[in-house]
Structure 1
Amino acid sequence: MGYEVVQTDDVPTTDLSKIDEVPPDLEITALDEALGADQVNCKLWYFEPGEEIRYHAHSQQEELYYVLEGEFSLKLGRSGEEEYVEVGPGAAWLAKPEIGHGHRNVGDERGVVLAVGAPAVEDPGLDPHSLRDE
């Protein structure tokens, strides 16, 4: 067939707090799995107020983020050069390989972020501070 169409409300949500090996303790909807994607990761991440994905980097993966709902504080950039940016719905940002990134829901409502990463590799994250040029 070569294509798949799903309604996001029909895709199961996973509570990562029940999986010890997978931080952070957020809920996700794995659109990539529902669509049978091989070359890209695609998730909806759900953040209650104060929840975050901590500052990290990936060795190979480039990630694109898009805020669907909520208000977020982003921490972006190489270690020692980080910047903080406040964003809301409609904001998008890109994290290249080995570039630190993280975001926290700073609003009073649930936040939803679409995250798209390629290539689709198991890349659990690096400490951006270990990538600093000395």
Structure 2
Amino acid sequence: MSFRAIRPDEFEWITRPHEPGEPARHVAELSDAIGSTHVRGNVWRYEPGARGKRHRHPIQEETFVVLAGELSIYLGETPERVDVPTGGVVNVPPGTPLQSANHGDVDLLVYAYGYPPEDATADLLDPAV
């Protein structure tokens, strides 16, 4: 059996585009690094006040595991805010609009994985926050 393991100090963080003065989001893209072929996995780090883009995946189911901080996630056509503390998990079915945010005062760390991995970009939507 073949396996790969990556320690957190080996993550290659990519800073996502953001406006000057706006808190940043950073992603460690893990799927290729660990040789994953059936799921897409990333670790996201949101600085305090950072928020992602509201989007929807047509075929990909996503699950978010909060590793540190508290995730505020806005779900549904009429966005409903759900706060997920450290150790909590939220599952988002395909086609569900979502937007993630860090309303706390410490970095938010989230492991996100999706199945099946989509090759196309998600549909971008008007922001909830």
Same fold (TM over 0.5): yes
- 1:44-83 Cα deviation digits (max 9, x unpaired): 0010011112321101111000111112321012x13x31
CA RMSD of aligned residues (A): 1.9
How many residue pairs get aligned? The number is 121
Residue of structure 1 in register with 2:59 after alignment: 60
Tell me the distance in 1 between the aligned counterparts of 2:4 and 2:97: 33
Q: Which residue among 115, 119, 124 is the counterpart of 1:122?
A: 119
Q: Which residue among 75, 82, 87 is the counterpart of 2:84?
A: 87
Residue of structure 1 in register with 2:7 after alignment: 7
**Structural mapping, 1:27-106, within 5 Å:** 27-77=26-76, 79-80=77-78, 82-106=79-103
Query: Match of 1:86, as an amino acid?
Result: D
Instruction: Note the residue ranges of structure 1 that are not aligned, 5 or more in a row.
Output: 19-24, 130-134
Tell me the distance in 1 between the aligned counterparts of 2:108 and 2:124: 25
Aligned CA distance change for structure 1 residues 105 and 6 (closer, same or farther; 3 Å): same
TM-score normalized by structure 2? 0.83
What is the percent sequence identity of the aligned residues? 28
Tell me the distance in 2 between the aligned counterparts of 1:123 and 1:75: 22
TM-score normalized by structure 1? 0.80
Instruction: Note the residue ranges of structure 2 that are not aligned, 5 or more in a row.
Output: 19-23
**More displaced 10-residue stretch of structure 1: 4-13 or 54-63:** 4-13
Query: Match of 1:27, as an amino acid?
Result: H
Residue of structure 2 in register with 1:21 after alignment: none
Q: Which runs of 4+ in 1 moved over 4 A?
A: none
